[in-house]
Amino acid sequence: MTLAWWPRAAPFVMLLASNVFMTFAWYGHLKHKDAPLPLAIGVSWLIALAEYTLAVPANRWGSAVYTVAELKTIQEAITLVVFAVFSVTFLGEPLKLTTLIGFGFIFVGAAFVFMNR
């Protein structure tokens, strides 16, 4: 059985996983503001290493199926979704309607990137 769908899906799956790591690397320390900044930086770098081990192959393999602009758009759209879930569940910050509308406009812009596919 062949996985013909995998080359198209792999970038989405891998970029989703990498964005979870990157969101924790960039924003996870905000839940622990009492931790020393050098420690926060060091832990963030270690988490970011895991992110890169997923993002680099996702983009390399994804470039066989998608344009670079499409890959970047996929990554940005995934980032918004991951960030929204993270900010509500991990940081306990509510999502404002204006934030959701702004994210919606970004998704509309992202749709334009894929219009002539």
Q: Where are the domains of the chain?
A: 7-113
Encoded tokens for 104: 């919606």
Q: Which of 51, 71, 67 is nearest to 10 (CA)?
A: 71
**What's the distance, Cα to Cα, between the start and end of the chain in Å?**
27
* Model confidence pLDDT, tens digit, residues 1-27: 567 888 899 999 999 999 999 999 999
d(CA 93, CA 102): 17
Can you give the pTM of this predicted structure? 0.87
The pLDDT tens digits of the residues spanning 69-93 come to 999 999 999 999 999 999 999 999 9
In whole angstroms, give the CA distance from residue 117 to residue 114: 5
* Over residues 97-113, mean pLDDT: 94
Indicate left, alpha or beta for 92 from its phi (over 0: left) and psi (-120 to 50: alpha).
left
